[in-house]
Structure 1
Amino acid sequence: MIKWFSLGFWELIARIVLRNKILMLSIIVAITVFLSMQWKNIHFTFTEANMLPEDNIANVEYNAFLNKFGEEGNLIIIGVKDKTFFTPKAFKAWNTLMNSIKKDKAIDLVVSINDLKKLQKNDSLQKFELIPFVDQNKTADKAYLEKIRKELFNDMPFYEGLLFNKKSGSIRSAIYMDKKIVNTKARKDYILEKLVPAIEKFEKETNIDLRVSGMPYIRTLNAKTITDEISLFIGASLLVTSLLFFFFFRSFRATLISIIIVIIGVMWSFGVLGLLNYEITVLTALVPSLIIVIGIPNCIFLTNKYHQEYKVHRNKVKALQRVTTKIGMATLMTNVTTAIGFFTFITSNNSLLIEFGNVTSINILLLFLLCIIVIPIFHSYIPAPKDRHIEHLDRGSVKNFMDWILHNVKHNRFSIYVVAISLLVISIIGIYEMRISGSLIEDMPKKEAFFKDIIFFENEFDGVMPLEIMIDTKRKKGVMKLSTLRRMDELEKAIDEIPELSKPISIVNLVKYSKQAYYNGNPEYYDLPTSQEQGFILSYAKNATKNSKENLMKSYVDSTGQYARITTFMRDDNGGAIPKIEAEIRKEADKIFPPDRYNVTITGKALVFQKGTGYLLDNLLSSLVFAFFLTALLIGFMFRSFKMILVSIIPNLLPLLLTAGLMGFLDIPLKPSTILVFGIAFGLSVDDTVRFLAQYREELKKNNWKIRKSVYATFNDAGLSMFYTSIVLFFGFSVFMLSSFGGTIALGGLISLTLLFGMLSNLMLLPALVLTLNKTLANEQEFIEPKIDIIEHSDEEIDALKKEKIF
């Protein structure tokens, strides 16, 4: 009865669609208009992706640091390495550039050589005064500029590593954006419309190449590149998949409707993003292209079945009805399994992945409804297929390839198993070679100028990725105690000995600079004060910036004087070494700072990102296991057979292991982008398995439970669609390799390879396993009356239902 209900349901759907074509199309148009109206809610993300949940200890500590010292991601740095910099023309242009930046309301503070302040002792007021380092009235004199260059490099160690590199002669300025706008659209507007044109003007006037970096700048140009690539992916996906569709079917009309369907699907995907009020991120930006790549195989499957039906009885109306009736449930289930692959991302406890999983799985199911309604209606309006349209069913080159596969399944199953086991062993070896990447910039577009600028700052200033140490003295004004400063200095010396880290910066540097200033700027006195000196030097330092807008201490000590900050930088390629670096710092901090008197926290963007990658790996592996579980549950529910579950999982597990092994051998690290490969590829690859097993079950009943005949008949019927859809998916995901982003390139390439492995596995290993396990899999008792009937029904069954007037 369940079977008859299922069959009757899809026959009813076919009748409703074909008898109410105008109404169905009107509903499609209405949905499209409604979702198009939601586009106004679409906006690009202005914050960085955080892979950790809010309650994770690393996030809690990082947020506590931000609460004390403010947003650390508001710093833009402009650097230059040119011998002509200290010449009147260049220095004047630099002065103009820095002053224009400083005057903008989007900028909080600019620390630059042209406007640099230095400490000078004022004995009468017992304080240090901030006086200009550069006399602007003398900057037209080349000799004066040479003089201040030497003074900067030789007499001001406080600024070494912060504003200049003494060894190479490179210079940089620090520009602090207003923290209120750093995560808003105003940040993008300022950088693209004001900062970039100002820098280009300077370069044109002086022929000096400026280097620009810092998180606000990187994030803005990164986001612009992502936005530009959305249209590239959509266009390339449409072109590649439509060309393949036409190559398979040789029909302009069938190709046209497929293009129309996926374009509507893309419009719906943007609408769903707006309806759910999701931001466009590096992941959700891929959704429209995914809809194209996944939608075309749906069109291929339905169109191919329509051609197969029409070839049998040459009746267009009957063929269109039979497409929905016969494979409606099978198509639904394959889309459900694909959606499951994406939906499992919701278990990651990460908002970025949850949003990506939600919007993709919703759109895949909407796309199924679109295909099952529009394709039959469209073909009902156009003439029946001509012979040239259906000759692809017997095309020589494809047929020869499929015959070769079938020959191996028939006669070389042992060889198939040997190859599969060998590949499995090789994959396991490769998996042990895999590494986890903690890089913040590895996936960024390496051809873009801003990426080359990042490398410049890494080479000249030992990195741009901050690592922060926050010290809680557990009492107000505890930071400025000499004992605390000495402990901090000892920790800084230990940090300086870690080769992966840059020279640390903290209030200790300022106190040392205060002593130097007290002794009339003599660099030999750049050191912490002694016990005898501390009374008057520290009092000078404390009075130096009272009520001053340019408070040199505010970046390193909080307003209460209880919390201190030590900042060091690391090269991005040391991201994988962060756990070791953290352990070294923790070991030294525990020795230097007694835990009953101090609390030391190690944090920063680089550390949070690395921990986020590890967390994401653990959670996405769990998501993949969850996807396997859901798929196994679905197969078991449909077929009521544990052995069927085993047969369905093995051919889809092997391609994932092959890809993981390949990543190990090619040194492609596990990172947020590559981790996604496995869930997406599994969800897509398992579709072919469901189609094959569904068809196999029907063939068993047709052929009186004759195993070999049923497997071969299944291969001949379903194999072609499996081949077509896999080829489209392979080339469809390959378009992501056009991206500038390393992560997107890896995502596209690895998914394409996994799906290619999956196609061969489902066409060869799957039928071989069914034949090998035929004595148990062919047990009729395991196949009767499944919970969900997804098989392709025969014409005789459909005609019998009509005679019984079931519907």
Structure 2
Amino acid sequence: MWTKIAGIILRNRVAFIIGVLLVTLFMGFQARNVQMSYENADLLPKTDSAYLDYTRFRENFGQEGNVMVFAIQDSNFYELEKINDWIAMGDSIKAQQGVTALMSITHTFNLHKNTNLRKFEVFPIFPKRIQNKAELDSLAFIAENLPFYDGLLINKNKHTYNMMITVSAEVMNSPARVELVRKVLDITRHFTGKHDLKMHYSGMPYIRVINAENIKSEMYMFILLSLLITAVILYLFFRSFRIVGFCVGIIGISVIWAIGFMAILGTKITLLTAMLPPLLIVIGIPNCVYMVNKYHAEYVRHGNKIKALQRMIQKVGNASLLSNLTTAAGFATFVITSSRILVEFGLIAFISITCVFLICLILIPSVFSYLPRPDTKQTKHLYNPFINEVIDKLVFIVMNRRNIIYYITIVLVIAGIYGITRMKTTGYMVDDLKETDPIRQDLAFFESNFDGLMPLEVTIDFLKPNQVFKLSNLEKLDQLNTELSQDPDLSKALSVVEAAKFANQAYYNGKASYYKLPSNMTKNFIMKYVMESTGGMNDMAKSFVDSTMREVRLSFRVKDIGTKKMEAKEDSLYKIIEKIFPPDKHHTSVTGSSVIFFKGNQYLIKNLFSSLALAIVLIASFMAWMFRSKRMVLIALVPNIIPQIITAAIMGYAGIPIKASTILVFSVAFGISVDNTIHYLAKYRQELQATNWSIRSSVVLALKETGQSMIYTSIILLFGFGIFCLSSFGGTFALGLLTSITLFAAMLANLILLPSLLLTLEKSITNKTFREPLLQIYNEEEDIDTTKLHIEHEEEKLTQ
């Protein structure tokens, strides 16, 4: 089969080159349309009960994660010039397109009872500009003594003052959000710069925008770094700028195709998909290394360039196909997770890696057929004394120290299994951010001063209309709020109960002692006042009660306590809620962005374990299909599973938790590391045929020939994945560090453990089916009749 493929490629090289270039131009044109993602990742499937509860909540009450907050801590806040500047800052922000509401201590309102019109009139407490200190002190006293705002906009004990803006859904989920956040930051920085204060920022709009911009900048940085590092390493190996430029050009084409596919399929750039271009560079370069190595080795053997290119395709093609297929399968298994972000990542990665193989298979022989013959400088890497010395030492260890190898392996596996038992599962909303990241530090500030920021919504459905404002139900809601607010991880609730208390206080002319629920006698009067009012409390009441007045929401803010603790908290919340609102008479739910996140994280981890298991099964099936030996497949899996155990153990000992970003490592690393196993076993099988079934000779010869490429590609992969350790995102950092560790361990296992197992087990695994595979491998010692190739005659003319 590969003989025919080689002939087709070399005879039609011009057409293939033109075809690849035309497709690249088309993909480059499409790549201009790729967009950044400014939305929360859909981690849960749409059929999940938690997702359905959240969807129903948003249909009834709107989006809850659209508030941006910023605050200062200042014991001298109430200075005349500073307060006027704070008011002006708020007014300027409120005027920005996309800001639908703004609240701060200077942008609060008070209720005044109009007995003639029988309604509450809403008046702002602070004017646009305050004239003197006496007026400021009077207004500050009024605002700070309204319990409704305490804990929401101010923390009097810590002198912290908060400003909150609500962003429209249209701007929230569009690129316009970037410009809005930039303008808000410019306005607030002008204020803090003038008064020498530090502003703390948080809220979902802010976090998403900053993260999205960081993702974009890191993607460009990693693309440049991966190209630079791989180019440097390639030059150190081959000592040829021509080869380096050509290999980097091939991978550059692959990246353009990948981004083009993203645009065509409507896949946006997320934290995961942003890693694909640099990942393709790192994963694609080994294809070039194996092919160029084989080309040079063949050319040195007989000096015929076209014959060397043809043999390169015949000898490396099958193993490269399977190695790329296994790598692609490692990513493709993410499709079973039903998580949109992982499905998109897995699909694009599978398509892109497949295209990398096809591009390398077409362009390397086609373009090299036009390039000058390799000189001694370019082929010098075949005789690298250091690498050859390393391989000779490995051969000695494999031949004479196998017992030591097995003892060390057993110790590592036992220590690894114990380390795995120490692994923990957790996840935080800002888990991907380092401890020193300003977003994480500011979130800790808000948790310390305002009991967290992550939205948590409790909804009570009374199953009958006009039930919410019954005094008995308001009292139950107040009891629920009181009990839940005692939780140190939860804020007090914002709900119609607080609105009713505020209205009762206003009904009694603002006396603080009347900030409580109205009595049964006054309730009807007060609620009539509220419903007759326009804006203010009436609008707020409507945003917390559905149109039929049968369902009500209580909005809490929860600290970022991690998925493990959040799971236990959800159970305790339901117990408290159902004690006050029995499930036989009410329908209750606990939802919000915080709940969706921890549910999605749990779902993701469970499904990533499934995808890892599927990757192992698929890759084992591919190897069985190629080698037709079940026992050989089992032996091949050993040097690739043990590195996974070692990495998992390191996570256990180092306290690195199991989360989506760390689980991802195992599927990715397994799909890549098995490539070396496939190349080694393919060469081992060829040597068996050439040495008349001499297992010891075949093991040594296969190790000497593939060992160099295995070391080269592993170095590229180590440095390539190592660049991700420069990321400001913890998940990307973990992917780089843990994958590098896994691939390094896999390289050693494939160079030492795999040959040792082949020698120890010998004929019990190297059976007849392995000798007669489903896909016939070209016999290396058999000469090729190049006279049948028209291209060979052209080559001779060109060199005359």
Q: How far off is 1:605 after superposition?
A: 0.8
Equivalent position amino acid for 1:56 in 2: D
2-structure distance, mates of 1:784, 1:397: 34
Match of 1:142 in 2: 133
Query: Among residues 171, 174, 178, which one is paired with 2:164 in the alignment?
Result: 174
Correspondence list, 1:323-722, <5 A: 323-444=312-433, 448-543=437-532, 545-546=533-534, 551-722=539-710
Q: Is the 1:101–1:195 Cα contact (8 Å) retained in structure 2? A: yes
> 1:50, 1:609 within 8 Å by CA — same for their partners in 2?
no
Cα deviations by residue, 1:316-336 (Å, 9 ceiling, x for unpaired):
222122111221111111111
Aligned to 2:798: none
Residue from 207, 212, 235 that aligns with 1:246: 235
The CA deviation string for residues 590-622 of structure 1, in whole angstroms up to 9 with x for no partner, is: 111022221110111111111111111111111
In the alignment, is the contact (CA less than 8 A) between 2:690 and 2:781 conserved in 1? Answer: no
Q: Is the 8 A contact 2:78 2:136 kept in 1?
A: yes
Task: Determine the C-alpha separation between the residues in 1 that align with 2:670 and 2:258.
Answer: 22
Where does residue 54 of structure 2 map in the other structure? 62
Deviation at 1:344, TM superposition (A): 0.9
* Stretch moving more, 75-84 or 584-593: 75-84
Alignment partner, residue 178 of structure 2: 188
CA contact 2:226–2:720 (8 Å) conserved in 1 = yes
> Any stretches of 5+ residues in structure 1 without a counterpart?
1-5
Amino acid at match of 1:708: R
Q: Which amino acid aligns with 1:143?
A: A
Cα deviation digits, residues 549-601 of structure 1 (max 9, x gap): 97221332223222111122222144431011101111111111022221110
Aligned match of 1:46 in 38, 45, 61? 38
2:204 aligned to 215, 220, 225, which one? Answer: 215
Give 1:356 shift: 0.8
User: SS of 1:72's equivalent?
Assistant: coil
Distance in 1 (CA, whole Å) between partners of 2:744 and 2:788 is 41
Query: Does the aligned pair in 1 maintain the 2:105–2:163 contact within 8 Å?
Result: yes
Shift of 1:370: 1.3
User: Cα offset for 1:136?
Assistant: 4.3
* 2:800 paired with 1:793: no
Give, in whole Å, the separation in 2 of the partners of 1:585 and 1:725.
53
- Cα deviations across residues 741-775 of structure 1 (Å, max 9, x unaligned)? 11111111111111111111111121122222212
- Give the aligned partner of residue 279 of structure 1: 268
Q: 2:451 is matched by which residue type in structure 1?
A: D
State how far apart, in whole Å, the 2-side matches of 1:376 and 1:478 are.
Answer: 77
Q: Distance in 2 between matches of 1:346 and 1:78?
A: 39
SS at match of 1:783: helix
Q: Name the aligned partner's letter for residue 794 of structure 1.
A: E
**TM-superposed deviation, 1:311:** 2.1
Is 2:736 aligned against 1:748?
yes
Q: CA deviation at 1:184?
A: 1.4
Q: Deviations over 1:35-78 (max 9, x none)?
A: 11212431111211121111111100011111111011211112
Structure 1 CA distance, aligned partners of 2:84 and 2:268? 43
Report how many aligned residue pairs link the two structures: 789
Q: Distance in 1 between matches of 2:228 and 2:773?
A: 41
Mapped partners of 1:434, 1:787: distance in 2: 41
What amino acid does structure 2 have at the position aligned with 1:422? V
Q: Please state how far the C-alpha of 1:447 moved relative to its aligned partner.
A: 5.0
Q: Are the equivalent residues in 1 in contact too, given 2:451–2:488 (CA < 8 A)?
A: no
Query: How many percent identity over aligned positions?
Result: 40
Paired amino acid for 2:780: S
What is the DSSP-based 3-state SS (H/G/I as helix, E as strand, rest coil) of the residue aligned with 1:566? Answer: strand
User: Which secondary structure does the structure 2 equivalent of 1:49 belong to?
Assistant: coil
Aligned match for 1:86, one of 73, 78, 92:
78
- Asked if 1:165 corresponds to 2:151, the answer is no
Q: Deviations over 1:264-291 (max 9, x none)?
A: 1111111111122211111111111111
Q: Which amino acid aligns with 1:148?
A: L
Q: Secondary structure at the match of 1:79?
A: strand
Give the Cα–Cα distance (whole angstroms) in 1 for the partners of residues 46 and 755 of structure 2: 47
Separation in structure 2 between the aligned mates of residue 448 and residue 574 of structure 1, nearest angstrom: 18
Aligned partner of 2:291 among 293, 302, 311 = 302
Give the match's secondary structure for 2:102: strand
* Secondary structure of 1:41's aligned partner: coil
TM-superposed CA distance for 1:718, in Å, is 1.1
Which position in structure 2 is the counterpart of 1:119?
Answer: 111
Q: Distance in 2 between matches of 1:252 and 1:588?
A: 70
CA contact (8 A) 2:563 2:601 kept: no
Contact residue 334 and residue 343 of structure 2 kept, 8 A: yes
CA-to-aligned-CA distance 1:155-214 (integer Å, 9 cap, x gap): 21111121111210111122111223311122223222x222222222233333222221
Q: Could you report, residue by residue, the CA deviation over 1:641-689 in whole angstroms, capped at 9, with x for unpaired residues?
A: 1101211212111111211111122122222222211111111011111
Q: Aligned match of 2:721 in 727, 730, 733?
A: 733
- Inter-CA distance 659–642: structure 2 relative to 1 (3 Å threshold): same
1:171 counterpart SS class:
strand
Distance 1:752 1:801, change over 3 A: farther
Structure 1 residue aligned with 2:797: none
Q: Specify whether residues 800 and 258 from structure 1 end up closer, same or farther in structure 2 by C-alpha distance, changes over 3 A only.
A: closer
1:548 positional shift: 6.0
Does the Cα contact within 8 Å between 1:230 and 1:286 map onto a contact in 2? yes
Alpha carbons of structure 1 residues 226 and 447: separation in structure 2 relative to 1, 3 Å = farther
1:13 is matched with 5
Looking at structure 2, the residues matched to 128 and 582 of structure 1 have their Cα atoms a distance apart, in angstroms, of: 38
Residue 533 of structure 1: CA displacement?
4.0
Cα separation, partners in 2 of 1:695 and 1:282, compared to 1, 3 Å: same
Structure 1 residue 30 corresponds to structure 2 residue 19: no
How far has the Cα of 1:547 moved from its partner? Answer: 6.2
Matching residue of 1:783 = 770
Letter of the 2:469 counterpart = M
Q: Once structures 1 and 2 are overlaid, which stretch shifts more, 375-384 or 288-297?
A: 375-384
Q: CA deviation at 1:505?
A: 2.2
SS at match of 2:707: helix
SS at match of 2:487: coil
The CA deviation string for residues 13-41 of structure 1, in whole angstroms up to 9 with x for no partner, is 32333333322221111111111121243
Counterpart AA for 1:130: V
Q: Distance in 2 between matches of 1:547 and 1:77?
A: 22
Letter in 2 for 1:429: Y
603-612 vs 487-496, which moves further: 487-496
Residue 3 (structure 1) aligns with: none
Which 5+ residue runs of structure 2 have no aligned equivalent?
790-800
For 1:537 and 1:657, locate their aligned partners in 2 and report how far apart those are by CA, in whole Å: 66
Letter in 1 for 2:323: T
Paired amino acid for 1:258: C
The Cα of 1:482 is off from its aligned counterpart by 1.4
Change (3 A) 1:549 1:571: closer
